[in-house]
C-alpha cells in the first residue's frame, strides 16, 4: 500500500433511477378498431448498491467518481408490456467500509464481509399503465401514472481496516519494523516520525499453518482524538481490530506513562475501544539486561499481558505470537 494509492475516505453524489411512466395505450386490431386500454406499467428505476469485495484494499478507484447515477426505468408499452427496470449501480468497496450521510453524518450502513450488499438509494417505482384504471364507468381511461422520482444524496464512504491485531504506538515505536519481520509486508521504515502515513496489512504465519492479520497504522500522538497529527484518520482504523497491541520502546523515560497516554487517547476517541483485548509489547528490548527488565516489569500496569521484544534481534517474537494467538482464540486454551 503505497501512500499515494491508499484512500480511505471519499465523498460522492449518488442518485437512484427514476421509475418509468405507465403507458396510456389502447388496443388496436384489424377487427377491433377501438379496443380497451392495454397500457403496461413502467419499470423500476435502478438502485444504488454498496457491495463488499475482498479483492479491494482501498477506495482509490472511487477518488474521481464524484457522481454515481443509476439508470432510469423504461416506460410501459402496449399489450400490457412492462417497461424494463433501470440498471442498478453497484459500488464495490473493501470489506469494512461504512456509508454515511455527508450532510448529517448519520450512518446509512456498512459492509463487513465479502459479497455483503446494502441498498444506499432505492430506485423509484414504475407508474401504472392505463389498464389498471379501467372500470365499468370509465372504460377508456386516457391517463396513467408517471414513475416515481429517484433519490439523491451526498454520501461519504469511510474505510475501517479489518484486521485481527492493530498496532498502537507513538511514531518510531517500531511498529513497521515488527510487521516487516513477522509478515511479508514491506512498509516504509526510517528513523524519523511519521514514516508510516498510511496503514499496512500483513498476514502473520503461526503454528500448524494457522495465521492472523496484523495492521500497522500511522503513529498516534498526544491529542490525536482532537485531530492532531494524523489524528482521527488513524483512530478510525483500530475500531475493527480484535486485539490492540500497544508498542512502547524500551528507551523511553517511563513505559507506563507512555502506555497511559496511548490508552487515554483511545478512551477519548471511543471508550468502547478499551473493551478490546490488549497486549503490551516493549520494543527495542535488546538494549536491556535482565536487571533492567526486572525493574521495568515491576512498574508495568497490573494485569496487562506484556512481552519484551526486539524485531531487529528477533527476540521475543515467538512468545509475542503465542500471546496474540491466545487472545484471539481463548477457546483453544
State the cell numbers at 41: 406499467
Per the document, the length of the chain is 333
* Closest alpha carbon to 144 in 44, 76, 73, 74: 76
94 within 8 A of 61, measured Cβ to Cβ = no
State the pLDDT confidence band at 191, using cuts at 50, 70 and 90: very low
264 and 229 together in one domain: yes
254 within 8 A of 296, measured Cβ to Cβ = no
pLDDT at residue 42 greater than cutoff 70: yes
216 and 322 together in one domain: yes
181 and 326 together in one domain: yes
What's the number of domains the chain is made of? 2
Q: What's the per-residue H, E or C state across 294-332?
A: HHHHHHCCCCCCEEECECCCCECHHHHHHHHHHHHCHHH
* Closest alpha carbon to 68 in 148, 5, 11: 11
* Closest alpha carbon to 204 in 220, 215, 195, 196: 215
Give the structural domain span for 287. 165-332
* pLDDT value of position 193: 45
**Signed CA dihedral, 183, 188, 194, 199: sign only:** negative
43 and 171 together in one domain: no
136 and 26 together in one domain: yes
State the pLDDT confidence band at 122, using cuts at 50, 70 and 90: very high
**Partners of 26 in beta bridges:** 37
Residue 93 sits at φ, ψ, to 5 deg, of -140, 165
State the pLDDT confidence band at 240, using cuts at 50, 70 and 90: confident
Which of 102-111, 221-230, 297-306 shows the lowest per-residue confidence on average (mean pLDDT)?
221-230
State the pLDDT confidence band at 223, using cuts at 50, 70 and 90: low
SS3 60: helix
Q: Which residue, 100, 133, 159, sits at the end of a domain? A: 159
pLDDT at residue 205 greater than cutoff 60: yes
What's the CA gap between 206 and 197, in Å, rounded? 27
State the pLDDT confidence band at 328, using cuts at 50, 70 and 90: very high
pLDDT at residue 232 greater than cutoff 90: no
H/E stretch holding 181: helix 175-182
Average pLDDT over residues 145-168: 92
Q: Which residue, 159, 191, 213, sits at the end of a domain? A: 159
154 and 169 together in one domain: no
Which of 226-230, 256-260, 264-268, 328-332 shows the lowest per-residue confidence on average (mean pLDDT)?
226-230
* pLDDT value of position 198: 67
pLDDT at residue 146 greater than cutoff 90: yes
* pLDDT value of position 194: 43
155 and 169 together in one domain: no
State the pLDDT confidence band at 165, using cuts at 50, 70 and 90: very high
Average pLDDT over residues 217-227: 57
148 and 181 together in one domain: no
Average pLDDT over residues 188-216: 72
* pLDDT value of position 224: 45
173 and 226 together in one domain: yes
CATH assignment of the domain containing 298: 3.40.50.300
**Partners of 220 in beta bridges:** none
Spatial strand order in the sheet of 117-121: 89-93, 48-52, 117-121
259 and 112 together in one domain: no
Global confidence as pTM: 0.74
123 and 17 together in one domain: yes
Q: What's the CA angle centered on 260, arms 257 and 261, to 5 degrees?
A: 90
97 and 136 together in one domain: yes
State the cell numbers at 250: 524500551
CATH assignment of the domain containing 46: 2.70.210.12
Amino acid at each position: 500500500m503505497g501512500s499515494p494509492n491508499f484512500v480511505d475516505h471519499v465523498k460522492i453524489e449518488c442518485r437512484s433511477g427514476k421509475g418509468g411512466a405507465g403507458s396510456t395505450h389502447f388496443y388496436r386490431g384489424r377487427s377491433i378498431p377501438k379496443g380497451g386500454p392495454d397500457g403496461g406499467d413502467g419499470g423500476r428505476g435502478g438502485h444504488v448498491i454498496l457491495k463488499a469485495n475482498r479483492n479491494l484494499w482501498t477506495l482509490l478507484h472511487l477518488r474521481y467518481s464524484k457522481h454515481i447515477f443509476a439508470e432510469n426505468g423504461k416506460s410501459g408499452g402496449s399489450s400490457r408490456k412492462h417497461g424494463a427496470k433501470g440498471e442498478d449501480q453497484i459500488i464495490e468497496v473493501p470489506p469494512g467500509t461504512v456509508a454515511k450521510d455527508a450532510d448529517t453524518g448519520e450512518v446509512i450502513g456498512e459492509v463487513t464481509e465479502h459479497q455483503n450488499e446494502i441498498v444506499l438509494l432505492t430506485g423509484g417505482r414504475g407508474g401504472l399503465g392505463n389498464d389498471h384504471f379501467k372500470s365499468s364507468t370509465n372504460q377508456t381511461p386516457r391517463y396513467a401514472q408517471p414513475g416515481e422520482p429517484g433519490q439523491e444524496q451526498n454520501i461519504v464512504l469511510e474505510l475501517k481496516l479489518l484486521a485481527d491485531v492493530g498496532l498502537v504506538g507513538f511514531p518510531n515505536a517500531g511498529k513497521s519494523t515488527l510487521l516487516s519481520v513477522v509478515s511479508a509486508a514491506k512498509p516504509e521504515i526510517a528513523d524519523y516520525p511519521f514514516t508510516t502515513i498510511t496503514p499496512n496489512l500483513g498476514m502473520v504465519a503461526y503454528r500448524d499453518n494457522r495465521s492472523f492479520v496484523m495492521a500497522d497504522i500511522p503513529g498516534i500522538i498526544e491529542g490525536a482524538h482532537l485531530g492532531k497529527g494524523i489524528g482521527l484518520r488513524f483512530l478510525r482504523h483500530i475500531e475493527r481490530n480484535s486485539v490492540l497491541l500497544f508498542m512502547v520502546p524500551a528507551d523511553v523515560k517511563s513505559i507506563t506513562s507512555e502506555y497511559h497516554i496511548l490508552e487515554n487517547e483511545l478512551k477519548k476517541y471511543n471508550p468502547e475501544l478499551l473493551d478490546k483485548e490488549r497486549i503490551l509489547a516493549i520494543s527495542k528490548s535488546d538494549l536491556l539486561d535482565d536487571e533492567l527488565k526486572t525493574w521495568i516489569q515491576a512498574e508495568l500496569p497490573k494485569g496487562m499481558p506484556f512481552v519484551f521484544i526486539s524485531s531487529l534481534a528477533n527476540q521475543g517474537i515467538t512468545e509475542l505470537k503465542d500471546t496474540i494467538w491466545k487472545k484471539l482464540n481463548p477457546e483453544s486454551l
